[in-house]
């Protein structure tokens, strides 16, 4: 996957709620090989995490003994080993100091990367996995500013000199799914190609009226009812309204937002890109596999590399 | 149900999405008798509305031929007869002029009360049924100010001299159900007595941070996770957060809100009462059966009473 390939030096595992990815990482931090599986922590019954991991990375460890780092929801209460949360500011060295080693039944040692928490006036916030991606981004020179990580629970992360200094979670993705699947708003929706105009109309409504979301959501019903937007466009209008509301609230909450680094190259990141630009912000992209760079930098800071 | 009982003069039907109520109404507007049924329009398969109504009000019309008024979602696209929306300002006379008569197969004439719509900058808003309740409230001297009608889709209605002049819908109730039933927020929730302290904490968070709902909802997860509120209190915290957000947004949207008239005496109205008072507003209550008074006043304005 990389033109410069050195000897394998590390295995990095990004183990989330609904999927996991493992990377074979070289001595220069490059990804030599990668595997993925839908066996996220909620899909593994009986917490048989070791068997899942052995099967996935078995071909790599059969030849050579490598340190293993794992990050993500695998360190939550419903995961393999629950680790405490680290506090801000947090960089590669802090995460290296906070690594939680665990010896599996087969004798392999797995170093779990802990999550991060922060206490805001309104309540606590937490992340598990995103911190490793942010650390990885700094290897690409993306080590300052605001990072937006779209997803079920999107994260807005403030980074200074490669250290995470603040972050907030927005439940936008999960709320979209609940509203589409389980309210009257979803009854008009049909599968359809992305309707960028409807999405942009929703974004504009969200940016304008973000403080009145419980009311504005009703327009997802009335606009098609009154023939103002086509029925097939309602899902994209709702998506735009929610993401626009998120962008409006998040940009109000941050004083100097600067250039926004979007993590990931998915369809969802494309939507955030449109909404962020509609809000007058500059954006750039970080690739999704920066998590492997994060595993590498944390392992190196912990002295685990050869 | 009333100490002064005159001859029956009218049958009023309040037919909503999930239930219907019919009232036998006297010449002075008093309720002589009432029946209710869970056969809301979404529960009646094959649109056999006439059979449902005949069974419910049959005993009343067997003895005497009475005019029948019906209001609510029964006049929507999924109801019996779809009626157009009336526009603001709207009072008993306007609704009387807009009545849509329909002769049933059995020869009975039913006068359908039309719904109301309004065009706001953000999009259209609609109601079907609440307009009749508001008209009924004026018979009790409640004919000015802000009316709050809690429910699946709560309505905030501005009334002046017994005329509806403006209104907005908030999807709070349906969103609560979708979040509780179909997101990670619901996984911690258990059936429990109303926890007023947790509810008030949620209200305060909603009033304070209403513009950041997509983020603040995540606290419904993190507060119990970090031991800041008990797990059993999370549903009431969520309820408070949503209703507090609604109150914050709705009171920002109205210039001179005055005393708030809460319609209904349900547990849900009690919650709104707490939240409205927390926002510094005065409240009073209108009974739930004002809809029958509305049927009476509209029928009288239409010259349908003997």
ipTM score of complex: 0.87
Cβ neighbours, 10 Å, residue A19: 15
Residue B265 in any domain: the answer is yes
Residue B252 in any domain: the answer is yes
**A105-146 tens-digit pLDDT:** 888 899 999 999 999 988 899 999 999 999 999 888 888 999
Structure tokens at A137: 């981004």
Contact B263, B137 (CB under 8 A): yes
Is A153's pLDDT higher than 80?
Answer: yes
Given this model, what pLDDT does residue B210 score?
60
Residue B156 in any domain: the answer is no
Across the range B86-106, mean pLDDT stands at 95
**Chain A residues within 8 A of B226 when measuring between CB atoms:** 117, 124
Cβ neighbours, 10 Å, residue B26: 19
Is A32's pLDDT higher than 90?
Answer: yes
- Contact criterion met (CB < 8 Å) for A215 and B181: no
Q: Give the integer Cα–Cα distance in Å for A52 and A303.
A: 27
Residue B153 in any domain: the answer is no
Q: Quickly state the pLDDT bin for B5 (edges 50, 70, 90).
A: low
Q: Quickly state the pLDDT bin for B209 (edges 50, 70, 90).
A: low
B242/A contact by beta carbon, under 8 A: yes
Given this model, what pLDDT does residue A121 score?
84
Report long-range pairs for B107-111 (Cβ below 8 Å, ≥24 apart).
Answer: B108/B61, B108/B68, B109/B67, B109/B68, B110/B13, B110/B53, B110/B68, B110/B69, B110/B70, B110/B80, B111/B67, B111/B68, B111/B69, B111/B70, B111/B299, B111/B302, B111/B304
**A63-75 tens-digit pLDDT:** 788 999 999 999 9
- Contact criterion met (CB < 8 Å) for B182 and A181: yes
B171/A contact by beta carbon, under 8 A: yes
**Chain A residues within 8 A of B122 when measuring between CB atoms:** 205, 208-209, 212, 215-216, 219
Given this model, what pLDDT does residue B141 score?
87
Q: Whole-number mean pLDDT of chain A? A: 91
Cβ neighbours, 10 Å, residue A89: 16
Judge if B96 and B187 occupy the same domain: no
CATH number of the domain residue A222 falls in = 3.30.420.310
CATH number of the domain residue A116 falls in = 3.30.420.300
Distance from CA of B168 to the nearest CA of A (A): 7
Angle, vertex CA A205, rays to CA A203 and CA A206, nearest 5: 65
Is A297's pLDDT higher than 70?
Answer: yes
Judge if A270 and A296 occupy the same domain: no
Across the range A87-108, mean pLDDT stands at 94
Contact B290, B133 (CB under 8 A): yes
Given this model, what pLDDT does residue B147 score?
96
**Chain B residues within 8 A of A117 when measuring between CB atoms:** 226
Distance from CA of A227 to the nearest CA of B (A): 10
Domain assignment of residue B62, given as a range: 8-140+289-301
**Chain A residues within 8 A of B181 when measuring between CB atoms:** 182
- Percentages helix, strand, coil for chain A (3-state, rounded to 5) are 40, 25, 35
Picking from A170, A211, A214, the nearest residue to B170 by CB comes out as: A214
Contact B178, A113 (CB under 8 A): no
In A7-66, the residues whose Cβ lies within 8 Å of chain B are: none
Q: In a mutagenesis test of the A interface, which of B121, B176, B214, B233 is the best target, namely the one with the most A β-carbons within 10 Å?
A: B214
Strand extents, DSSP E, chain B: 8-15, 20-26, 31-37, 68-71, 85-86, 100-103, 109-112, 115-120, 123-127, 145-149, 154-160, 163-170, 260-263, 283-286
| pLDDT > 90 fraction of chain B, expressed in percent and rounded | 69
Judge if B273 and B254 occupy the same domain: yes
- Contact criterion met (CB < 8 Å) for B222 and A124: yes
From B237, B240, B242, B208, select the one nearest B223 (Cα to Cα). B237
| pLDDT > 90 fraction of chain A, expressed in percent and rounded | 69
- Contact criterion met (CB < 8 Å) for B182 and A184: no
Picking from A184, A208, A252, the nearest residue to B174 by CB comes out as: A184
Given this model, what pLDDT does residue B2 score?
46
- Contact criterion met (CB < 8 Å) for B178 and A174: no
Residue B81 in any domain: the answer is yes
Residue A256 in any domain: the answer is yes
Instruction: Report the run of H or E that residue A203 belongs to, with start and end.
Output: helix A196-209
Judge if A281 and A294 occupy the same domain: no
A80-89, A226-235, A273-282, B79-88: segment of lowest average pLDDT: A226-235
Residue A1 in any domain: the answer is no
Given this model, what pLDDT does residue B3 score?
55
In A115-134, the residues whose Cβ lies within 8 Å of chain B are: 117, 122-126
- State which of A68-72, A135-139, B173-177, B233-237 shows the largest mean pLDDT: A68-72
Beta bridge partners, A147, equal A157, A261
Is B83's pLDDT higher than 80?
Answer: yes
Given this model, what pLDDT does residue B1 score?
46
Judge if A254 and A293 occupy the same domain: no
Across the range A214-219, mean pLDDT stands at 91
Report which of residues A189 and A93 the model is more confident about.
A93
- Contact criterion met (CB < 8 Å) for B170 and A218: yes
Q: Quickly state the pLDDT bin for A4 (edges 50, 70, 90).
A: low
Q: Quickly state the pLDDT bin for B4 (edges 50, 70, 90).
A: low
Per the structure, the count of domains in chain A is: 2
From B271, B298, B295, select the one nearest B148 (Cα to Cα). B271
**A224-263 tens-digit pLDDT:** 888 888 888 899 999 999 999 999 999 887 878 888 999 9
Judge if A197 and A281 occupy the same domain: yes
Q: Give the integer Cα–Cα distance in Å for B13 and B270.
A: 26
Distance from CA of B149 to the nearest CA of A (A): 14
Judge if A16 and A133 occupy the same domain: yes
């Amino acid at each position: 996957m990389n033109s410069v390939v050195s000897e394998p030096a590390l295995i990095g595992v990004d183990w989330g709620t609904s999927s996991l990815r493992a990377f074979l990482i070289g001595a220069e931090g490059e990804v030599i090989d990668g595997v993925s599986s839908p066996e996220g922590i909620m899909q593994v019954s009986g917490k048989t995490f070791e068997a899942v991991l052995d099967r996935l990375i078995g071909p790599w460890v059969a030849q050579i003994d490598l340190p293993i780092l794992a990050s993500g929801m695998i360190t939550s209460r419903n995961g393999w080993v629950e680790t405490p949360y680290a506090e801000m500011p947090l960089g590669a060295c802090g995460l290296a100091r906070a690594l939680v080693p665990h010896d599996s039944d087969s004798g392999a040692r797995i170093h779990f990367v802990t999550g991060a928490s922060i206490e805001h006036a309104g309540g606590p916030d937490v992340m598990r996995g995103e911190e490793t991606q942010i650390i990885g981004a700094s290897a690409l020179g993306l080590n300052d500013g605001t990072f937006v990580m779209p997803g079920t629970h999107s994260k807005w992360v403030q980074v200074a000199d490669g250290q995470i200094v603040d972050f907030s979670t927005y439940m936008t993705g999960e709320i979209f799914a609940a509203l589409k699947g389980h309210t009257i708003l979803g009854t008009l929706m049909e599968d359809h190609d992305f309707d960028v105009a409807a999405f942009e109309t929703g974004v504009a409504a969200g940016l304008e009226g973000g403080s009145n979301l419980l009311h504005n959501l009703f327009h997802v019903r009335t606009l098609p009812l009154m023939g103002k937007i086509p029925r097939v466009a309602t899902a994209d209008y709702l998506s735009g309204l929610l993401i626009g509301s998120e962008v409006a609230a998040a940009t109000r909450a941050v004083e100097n937002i600067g250039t926004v680094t979007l993590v990931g190259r998915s369809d969802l990141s494309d939507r955030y890109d449109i909404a962020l630009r509609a809000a007058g912000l500059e954006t750039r992209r970080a690739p999704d596999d920066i998590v492997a760079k994060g595993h590498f930098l944390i392992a190196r800071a912990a002295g685990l590399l050869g």
